[in-house]
């Protein structure tokens, strides 16, 4: 049994892809509704089917837990889990950005905590509908020492989903690569209310992208993740913006639907890291504050 905490788009994608009856959603503390979750799943190849997922009961003993909440919710979610989950059960964190993963790993260093980063895309156009919008790859790697021996077992279990999964020993390095792309695209799409490709010709983007890349490259060099060249970072960001030109970023989508964004774990993570190292990050700070204002407004 694989327990999934966070019955949103990502959690439902894994529940729908893993063999039926092998997954269960973890209820929120105090949640009393135990009727199974039913939803309509539109697969990436266009086929559709109904999916039913039960809720984990006290009698269940999961072999693995996937945390598929947003980054801002993951530590609190694991806090509730840690009350009853055996200390040897692997926990896989699926959050975007950086900061939330390290917070969980530092809080529970003796548990097998792993992180995942994925290019799968899923969304919920309605509460009972899940669309697998794009297939991709998922990399999983250990964050804590005890997780090192669980990595291949976790990958074997999740491979039953049919999704493409790879082991990644330097998962933080891979999360950094994704962070660069998200930091250079997402806040601009949210502030400009535009599709990914449209940022490239916008004045806001053109005025700030070099400063943003210099701040990130400087930090990466300082923490030993370099050498990073600001021009290379800009090229990578622009290649992805062109390759996903018609996409609506998750940050823009969150703003449009009135949800809290993950800015605090993307550009906001860069700002906090800069503060801790006494390195100024004015462009990332400005973007973080403006997106925070946008979503709180
Ligand atoms: N969707 C994608 O295509 C995709 C791709 C790559 C990465 N990611 C990353 O994956 C993570 C999840 O994204 P998502 O799109 O699945 O978000 P989402 O649709 O908002 O799902 C998150 C779910 O977690 C639930 N939740 C929050 N706190 C909880 C708790 N304490 N106990 C139980 N459930 C809790 C939320 O419930 P409520 O709705 O009731 O708050 C929501 O259903 C994010 O970090 C995202 O950046 C997503």
10: CA distance to ligand 1 center in Å? 6
Catalytic residues: 178
Does any ligand 1 atom lie closer than 6 A to the CB of residue 250?
yes
Q: Which residue has the tokens 């009727």?
A: 35
Query: Any idea how long the chain is?
Result: 297
Question: Would you say 279 and 211 are in contact if contact means Cβ atoms under 8 Å apart?
Answer: no
Does any ligand 1 atom lie closer than 6 A to the CB of residue 99?
no
pLDDT of 297 reads 62
Q: What is the CATH number of domain 2-169?
A: 3.40.50.720
CA triple 278-233-193, angle to 5 deg: 90
Considering the domain delimited by 173-296, tell me its CATH architecture: Orthogonal Bundle (1.10)
Q: For the chain, which residues make up each domain, given as ranges?
A: 2-169, 173-296
Dump pLDDT digits (tens) for 231-257.
Answer: 999 999 999 999 999 999 999 999 999
Mean pLDDT of successive 10-residue segments in the chain (297 residues)?
A: 97 97 93 89 96 94 97 96 95 98 98 97 96 96 98 97 98 98 98 98 98 98 94 98 96 95 98 97 98 86
pLDDT of 51 reads 98
Does any ligand 1 atom lie closer than 6 A to the CB of residue 271?
no
112: CA distance to ligand 1 center in Å? 21
């Amino acid at each position: 049994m694989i327990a999934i905490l966070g019955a949103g788009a990502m959690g439902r994608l894994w529940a729908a892809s893993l063999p039926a009856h092998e997954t269960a959603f973890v209820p929120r503390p105090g949640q009393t509704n135990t009727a199974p979750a039913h939803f309509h799943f539109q697969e990436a190849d266009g086929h559709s089917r109904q999916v039913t997922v039960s809720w984990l009961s006290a009698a269940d003993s999961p072999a693995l837990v996937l945390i598929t909440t947003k980054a801002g919710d993951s530590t609190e979610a694991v806090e509730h889990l840690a009350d009853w989950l055996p200390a040897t059960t692997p926990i896989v964190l699926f959050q975007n950005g950086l900061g939330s993963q390290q917070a969980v790993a530092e809080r529970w260093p003796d548990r097998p905590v792993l992180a995942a980063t994925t290019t799968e895309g899923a969304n919920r156009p309605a509460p009972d509908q899940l669309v697998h919008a794009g297939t991709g790859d998922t990399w999983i790697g250990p964050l804590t020492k005890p997780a090192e021996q669980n990595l291949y077992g976790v990958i074997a279990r999740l491979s039953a989903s049919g999704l493409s999964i790879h082991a990644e020993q330097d998962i933080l390095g891979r999360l950094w690569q994704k962070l660069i792309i998200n930091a250079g695209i997402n806040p601009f799409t949210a502030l400009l209310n535009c599709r990914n490709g449209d940022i490239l010709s916008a004045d806001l983007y053109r005025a700030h992208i070099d400063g943003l890349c210099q701040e990130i490259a400087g930090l990466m060099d300082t923490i030993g993740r370099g050498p990073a060249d600001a021009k290379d970072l800009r090229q990578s960001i622009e290649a992805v913006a062109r390759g996903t030109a018609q996409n609506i970023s998750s940050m823009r989508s969150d703003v449009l639907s009135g949800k809290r964004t993950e800015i605090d774990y993307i550009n906001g993570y860069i700002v906090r890291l800069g503060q801790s190292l006494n390195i100024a990050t004015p462009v990332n700070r400005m973007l973080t504050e403006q997106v925070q204002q946008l979503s709180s407004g």
